[in-house]
Chains A and B, each alone.
Chain A
């Protein structure tokens, strides 16, 4: 071997996005929109597993991690439900059809709903937390007979913030899903339930010893819901949560999403409560 400065070819770069074109923008609520995307390079759409996310790039503005909200068995068009909360999400939801965006991924872990086969399945979610769970719900409903009872416990801030309202009714009517909704604040005359989603958890009809729970929402809500589920007897290892952290790369390199030893982007976002509970109980960990 001779010491000569040589370079092998440059490896593929996980930071380079694929171009997708926005084919449709649907307004779901006051501040939440669903984007449908098709590949702009003529290649097949990415395959993903329920619970995974992509890094979505608005040209010249920036990039954000967004969970895929579409059906994993039918990955085209690629579907993301986005709440307008910052510069990048605003650029994404205000883009008109035909605009190209960058997509990297899919990244991260899956809900792996197969593990719940033979169990009662309890989805607990709040607000836009329903979007990352939607692929898991569709997956369960595609194999409805493999599961026992299926419950969807959904909380939102106000009746106007309820996401996928029509679809939830359809799941209840056609797929034997026990859908229960509650709102934090209701206008005068509202007929539905008012209160936190954890109150639904304590009363819902399922067999805790043979249940699997999938929880997605704000961290305080997830901790309360998971604690309530565990209090009813659902083992911590059968309670899965999807964590949210700052992410700049999505591939475990930028360091932003660290939760003690976890890189939430590659070790998560979906993790079980047995692993997460001690981490969630420490303030600002």
Chain B
């Protein structure tokens, strides 16, 4: 769709207002405590203007930028995952009366979401969750209801952190225009924030309904040169990334690495704290918690995020099947980078780097993948 415009920074409020007027709950990056998180956006002043982030293995810090960029950070500490897939929700509530019981589901809130400023990595993660939770023989009905009618204003990334490796995963820093699995448009509007020579946004329209929204606020028409300027921002961001995973070989490397000595090495560092799975935008494992009142007549089933790093995750009568931490790390990285491809025809990692930054001991998925690759090659050469 060849509709490129320039949006002045002062126009962001009008964009947000246009979304509110159409009934959307607008969700985007905002500063809470000492982190950028995903939260409700009522005006441009809710965005992290002038705030940047510094991320490295085992560390995340905010910093004051020397400019007024609205999206001058790599990615929020928490992705958009909880917007459609909250950490806890009620599956159903039940009531028992004289031996009979009835079950009720909570109705989903009757408001569609507009994602404002979603990064390419997190946008890809939403597409992955669609494949896992919605486009399956059985779906997560709550997820499907929350995702329904989502409007997407993506923001191409110009500020990768040292932990980022989306370029190697093919998931960023500039989002693909279409979802490669479904062929559907990936976003309704795409913004690229340009800081020089003057602060402005290149706005690219992705859908007809995106055009309808874009027509509701002031923009100026632009041509291919504006798009080239936007692409240059993302290309520069890609060039700054130093980490990466070889996506051509990683599937087979992990297949061949089930008995690798590397698992003992990583298990000696891993605390099995589950942080990586909680910040991962694609991790989808859940458990069910049952609660009831003292009489046992009112009961609730809660779906809560779970982690393959917890000992109870693989528990069947008699004990956990993955008692050793090395088996749990192997399960996690093998699922992300290898079995996910068998299950869903795509990688389960988008290169956002959160698992690296939020690991208390700085375990680096790209480093582990590279080490496993080297060891698999060495073992292959030796045999």
Contacts and interface: CB of A to CB of B under 8 A. Distances in A.
Interface of A: 1-8, 10-17, 19, 40, 59-63, 85-86, 98-100, 102, 244-246, 248-249, 251-256, 258, 260-261, 263, 266, 282-285
A3 B114 CA distance: 11
Contacts of B306: 248, 254-256
Contacts of B258: 282, 285
30 contacts: A3-B212, A5-B25, A8-B148, A10-B141, A14-B139, A14-B141, A16-B91, A59-B292, A60-B96, A60-B291, A61-B290, A63-B288, A86-B317, A98-B99, A99-B99, A100-B101, A102-B101, A245-B321, A249-B288, A253-B139, A253-B140, A253-B284, A254-B286, A254-B306, A255-B306, A256-B285, A258-B339, A261-B339, A261-B342, A266-B137
Contact of A1 (B212, B284, B287): B212
A3 B314 contact: no
Nearest to B308: A255
B3 interface: no
B308 to A, nearest CB: 7
B267 to A, nearest CB: 11
A261 B25 CA distance: 37
Which DSSP category, helix, strand, loop or mixed, fits chain A's interface?
loop
Interface of B: 22-25, 91-92, 94, 96, 99-101, 103, 105, 107-108, 110-112, 114, 132-133, 136-142, 144-145, 148-149, 151, 188, 207-210, 212-213, 258-259, 284-288, 290-292, 296-297, 299, 301, 303, 306, 308, 313-317, 321-324, 327, 330-331, 334-335, 338-339, 342-343
B73 to A, nearest CB: 27
B284 A100 contact: no
Given A1-B207, A3-B22, A8-B149, 11 more contacts: A5-B151, A8-B148, A12-B141, A13-B142, A15-B92, A59-B292, A99-B99, A100-B100, A251-B137, A255-B308, A284-B322
Contacts of A40: 100
Question: Which of A15, A63, A98 has the most chain B CB atoms inside 10 A of its CB?
Answer: A15
A7 B290 contact: no
A19 B100 contact: yes
A243 B122 CA distance: 35
Contacts of A5: 22-25, 111-112, 114, 149, 151
Nearest to A62: B290
A231 B208 CA distance: 64
Contacts of B303: 15
Question: Which of B112, B290, B291, B327 has the most chain A CB atoms inside 10 A of its CB?
Answer: B290
Nearest to B23: A5
B314 A4 contact: no
Contact of B108 (A10, A62, A254): A10
A252 B321 contact: no
A246 B316 contact: yes
Contact of B313 (A63, A244, A256, A283): A256
Given A59-B101, A245-B321, A253-B133, A3 B334 contact: no
Given A1-B209, A15-B141, A246-B313, A252 B136 contact: yes
Nearest 3 interchain pairs by C-beta: A255-B285, A60-B292, A251-B138
B316 A258 contact: no
B208 A7 contact: no
Nearest to B136: A252
Contacts of B299: 59-60
A7 B145 contact: yes
Contacts of A16: 91-92, 103, 105
A98 B100 CA distance: 9
Nearest to A107: B138
Contacts of B210: 3
Contact of A244 (B287, B296, B316): B316
Question: Which of A6, A14, A253, A263 has the most chain B CB atoms inside 10 A of its CB?
Answer: A253
Contacts of B301: 15, 63
B153 to A, nearest CB: 11
Contact of B99 (A14, A100, A102, A255): A100
A246 B315 contact: yes
A258 B142 CA distance: 22
Given A16-B103, A254-B306, A7 B149 contact: yes
Given A15-B91, A285-B258, A261 B287 contact: no
Contacts of A3: 22, 151, 188, 209-210, 212-213
A62 B288 CA distance: 8
Contacts of A252: 136-138
B105 A13 contact: yes
A10 B110 CA distance: 11
A283 B112 CA distance: 46
A261 B334 CA distance: 9
B100 A4 contact: no
Nearest to A83: B317
Contacts of A4: 22-23
A249 B142 CA distance: 14
A282 B321 CA distance: 12
B138 A253 contact: yes
A253 B286 contact: yes
A81 B149 CA distance: 45
A102 B138 CA distance: 18
B331 A258 contact: yes
B310 to A, nearest CB: 11
A284 B149 CA distance: 42
B376 to A, nearest CB: 15
A163 B378 CA distance: 52
A6 B148 CA distance: 8
Question: Which of B137, B284, B288 has the most chain A CB atoms inside 10 A of its CB?
Answer: B288
B139 to A, nearest CB: 7
Contacts of B291: 60
A49 to B, nearest CB: 15
A245 B141 CA distance: 24
A148 B22 CA distance: 69
A248 to B, nearest CB: 5
Question: Which of A16, A61, A256 has the most chain B CB atoms inside 10 A of its CB?
Answer: A256
